Structure 1
Amino acid sequence: MIPVQQDHVVTTIENIPAETVPASPTLLQRIKKVFNRQLLLSLALGQVLSFLLCGIGLTSKYLADDFHANTPVFQSFLNYILLFLVYTTTLAVRQGEENLLAILKRRWWKYMILGLIDIEANFLLIKAYQYTTLTSIQLLDCFVLPVVLLLSWFFLLVRYKAAHYVGVGVCLLGVGCMIGADVLVGRQQGMGDHKLLGDLLVLAGATLYGISNVCEEFIVKNLSRVEFLGMIGLFGSFFSGIQLAIMEHKELLKVRWDWQIGLLYVGFSACMFGLYSFMPVVIKRTSAAAVNLSLLTADLYSLFCGLFLFHYKFSALYLVSFFIIVLGLVLYSSSSTYVAQDPRVYKQFRNTAAPVTETPIAGPLEPSVTYTSLGQETEEEPRVRVA
């Protein structure tokens, strides 16, 4: 037999293409990945809401302190009337299923409950200033954050990562620094005569705010922004008008009307209307939790304005708390949340005429949609598509 010589191919490291060896991202690339355009835009939009909330606080302070106009229900009533004139009338002229009568026919009682929740949330928090201190209100008002997180977890099926909890914790640390600065400079406005009652009012108002914000997020992401604002304007103006006639008609008669107090009411209404109109835009882009984290800086903007308008004392801790809150916002927004289930499966809020029935699982696999904190969509593991 003649032996057959076999050729052996020797593979060296030079034969491997350089593209197959992944290069680790540099520090600059990682920073650019976190501080992208979407993140910066979301942070900026959140601060616009904080500026509007600051304007609401400043005009309310001028009305209460300088003109002795304690009319929180009337102030909210003006905002609801504006919402009614702009958004409810828009729904009235629409055609089809987006018409006002069609919406009322399908889900009027749900919007009625939501309107009552929104009215009483505003009333309870403003009322709390008569009984407790500003420091307690700033601290207990943060209770809205766990309420929003829990309701989003159970009802919107949003799932959070460790970065989100760390971001919330850092924001709360910034609030703690702000409260500590208030104590150091002696800035603790508020009567504090019935502190326990005031604290309970703040907790109740924060809980109602959390419920309202989560409902708002669901509606603007699954229905429409105009529908939410139009129905809030309709039921808000109706029920706040009744509350105004019962509780505040005597206080309203005591107001000494002139051009200054009229201008303050106009400024308050403009800021409140802008906040209500713009908040659904930001919530649809981010989430209710991210918006409430952004609003934590509103007290600091009010303070910085108060340095010039009301001669507040300054502390370097205020600047430290501002940067800590912004850092917490960045940490929260840098990571994406995801939905545990397709939101279309539990969209019973539409309350259509046909009953919701279980459908058999069939069809090819499709990637599930993940909603990030910036409103972006990414792909996760495949799931079975519901036919």
Structure 2
Amino acid sequence: MIPEHQNHVVTTIETIPSETVTTSPTLFQRMRKVFNRELLLTLALGQVLSLLICGIGLTSKYLATDYHANTPVFQSFLNYILLFLVYTTTLAVRQGEENLLAILKRRWWKYMILGLIDIEANYLVIKAYQYTTLTSIQLLDCFVIPVALLLSWFFLLVRYKVVHFVGVGVCLLGMGCMVGADVLVGRQQGLGDHKLLGDLLVLAGATLYGISNVCEEFIVKNLSRVEFLGMMGLFGSFFSGIQLAIMEHKELLKVQWDWQIGLLYIGFSACMFGLYSFMPVVIKRTSATAVNLSLLTADLYSLFCGLFLFQYKFSGLYLLSFFIILLGLVLYYSSSTYVAQDPLVYKQFRNAGNPVPDTPNVEPLEPSVTYSSLGQEIEEEPRVRVA
């Protein structure tokens, strides 16, 4: 006889979860992911900088061509004086470690070198207009982009993806289309007998611009925007004042002063001050390389204004180059860059003075930090190596 408890047959019914149906995102969803609010805002901020540079170029052209006021050092000097009055005085009234004297005690010689680099970068590029063509300046001035890329790679430890290099290439292609349009419409300016000298001046100025912009990125992301601008105002006004007294005092005496020239100088100084004040905001949000890519459209805005002000000839390649540059910017911003090692973050994880007991012998490595091209930080846990 079979025991009663063995007469029951227990049936186990396993519930198999239904398979999750995954669908690939549609084209509209992918475009919406790329063209988000952050991307559009970043593109808009870059174009504001381009418009400011356009204003700088237009006022400089009126001063040089209509009033024969060739005073590039004096124009830069006015900007540095404004920076000094606004930002250097702000540092002077601060208390503690962010005070002007405290900053000078720690880093005065670094800012002195950076101020000299910034002054000479402006001077060399403006001086090149006397010796070479506008086309050469437009092409060679793009040299600032590979300089910024290399310096960011080696000193800021930024790592790029293939899409970033593709975006840079597309932007440079758009710049090439604009130069081609200049050749077709015969827009050749600044012809001289020393073209090689002019080209070398542009390359030197672009290199200095790249150094200045990468240093600016490091300062505004790790220290302070006001500190950078205050130090530029202090050392920039000092050294540009010396350069003005030595090299340009005679040209300044030749200027026929009236209210129109005064308005042009005021307009130039306002645009330059706005550019210097606003650029650190955009660099902190993006990077020095991204800002220089955005500034490629500045020449196009100047051309569009020149169609009405200086009767420039129009070519459809100008519009094509504008949209190609914007496409390159979208490609560059569509993916994040990787910082291989962030020393500031690494110090937060390194705690040599307080060893943790009863833990394996673990050797910390530098934390892995990813920054998006729009300046957003994506935190990751620090990597470790077990010894």
TM-score scaled by length of structure 1? 0.91
**Partner SS, residue 369 of structure 2:** strand
**Partner SS, residue 378 of structure 2:** strand
**Counterparts of 1:233-244 in structure 2 under 5 Å?**
233-244=233-244
Partner of 2:85: 85
Distance 1:77 1:239 in 2: 9
2:46 maps to a residue whose letter is G
Partner of 1:197: 197
Distance 1:126 1:79 in 2: 15
Q: Does the 8 Å contact 1:83/1:230 carry over to 2? A: yes
Runs of 4+ in structure 1 off by over 6 angstroms are: 1-6, 356-367
Alpha-carbon shift at residue 17 of structure 1 (Å):
3.6
Partner of 2:17: 16
Partner of 1:319: 319
Partner of 2:137: 137
Cα 1:133–1:365 shift into 2, 3 Å: closer
Residue by residue, what CA displacement relative to the aligned partner does 1:263-320 show, whole Å, maximum 9, x if unpaired? 0000000000000000000000000000000000000000000000000000000000
Cα 1:357–1:64 shift into 2, 3 Å: farther
1:377 maps to a residue whose letter is E
Q: Does the 8 Å contact 2:342/2:366 carry over to 1? A: no
**Partner SS, residue 344 of structure 1:** helix
Cα 1:362–1:243 shift into 2, 3 Å: farther
Distance 1:362 1:98 in 2: 37
Q: Does the 8 Å contact 1:219/1:228 carry over to 2? A: yes
Number of residues paired by the alignment?
Answer: 373
Partner of 1:72: 72
Residue by residue, what CA displacement relative to the aligned partner does 1:93-120 show, whole Å, maximum 9, x if unpaired? 0000000000000000000000000000
Distance 2:46 2:22 in 1: 37
2:311 maps to a residue whose letter is H
Distance 2:351 2:248 in 1: 48
**Partner SS, residue 200 of structure 2:** helix
Cα 1:366–1:204 shift into 2, 3 Å: closer
**Partner SS, residue 211 of structure 1:** helix
1:189 maps to a residue whose letter is Q
1:138 maps to a residue whose letter is Q
Cα 1:362–1:260 shift into 2, 3 Å: farther
Distance 1:111 1:366 in 2: 28
Distance 1:204 1:315 in 2: 31
Partner of 2:119: 119
Q: Does the 8 Å contact 1:156/1:343 carry over to 2? A: no
Partner of 2:279: 279
Cα 1:104–1:28 shift into 2, 3 Å: same
Q: Does 1:378 align with 2:344?
A: no
1:279 maps to a residue whose letter is M
Partner of 1:353: none
Partner of 1:369: 369
**Counterparts of 1:160-175 in structure 2 under 5 Å?**
160-175=160-175
Alpha-carbon shift at residue 34 of structure 1 (Å):
0.3
Residue by residue, what CA displacement relative to the aligned partner does 1:120-170 show, whole Å, maximum 9, x if unpaired? 000000000000000000000000000000000000000000010000000
Cα 1:362–1:195 shift into 2, 3 Å: same
1:185 maps to a residue whose letter is V
**Partner SS, residue 25 of structure 1:** coil
1:44 maps to a residue whose letter is A
Q: Does the 8 Å contact 2:341/2:369 carry over to 1? A: no
Return 5+ residue gaps in structure 2 as ranges.
356-360
Q: Does the 8 Å contact 2:130/2:198 carry over to 1? A: yes
Distance 1:115 1:150 in 2: 21
1:30 maps to a residue whose letter is R
**Partner SS, residue 78 of structure 1:** helix
Distance 2:160 2:62 in 1: 41
Residue by residue, what CA displacement relative to the aligned partner does 1:227-264 show, whole Å, maximum 9, x if unpaired? 00000000000000000000000000000000000000
Alpha-carbon shift at residue 382 of structure 1 (Å):
4.3
User: Higher mean Cα deviation, 183-192 or 315-324?
Assistant: 183-192
1:16 maps to a residue whose letter is P
Distance 1:29 1:191 in 2: 51
Distance 1:57 1:24 in 2: 48
Q: Does the 8 Å contact 1:177/1:321 carry over to 2? A: yes
CA RMSD of aligned residues (A): 2.4
Distance 1:357 1:251 in 2: 60
Distance 2:17 2:198 in 1: 71
Distance 1:384 1:209 in 2: 38
Partner of 2:128: 128
Cα 1:364–1:133 shift into 2, 3 Å: closer
Alpha-carbon shift at residue 383 of structure 1 (Å):
1.9
Alpha-carbon shift at residue 343 of structure 1 (Å):
3.7
**Partner SS, residue 104 of structure 2:** helix
The percentage of aligned residue pairs carrying the same residue is: 86
Distance 2:351 2:207 in 1: 33
Partner of 1:256: 256
TM-score scaled by length of structure 2? 0.91
Structure with the greater alpha carbon radius of gyration: 2
**Counterparts of 1:105-116 in structure 2 under 5 Å?**
105-116=105-116
Alpha-carbon shift at residue 26 of structure 1 (Å):
1.5
Q: Does the 8 Å contact 1:82/1:233 carry over to 2? A: yes
Return 5+ residue gaps in structure 1 as ranges.
348-355
Q: Does 1:27 align with 2:27?
A: yes
Partner of 1:289: 289
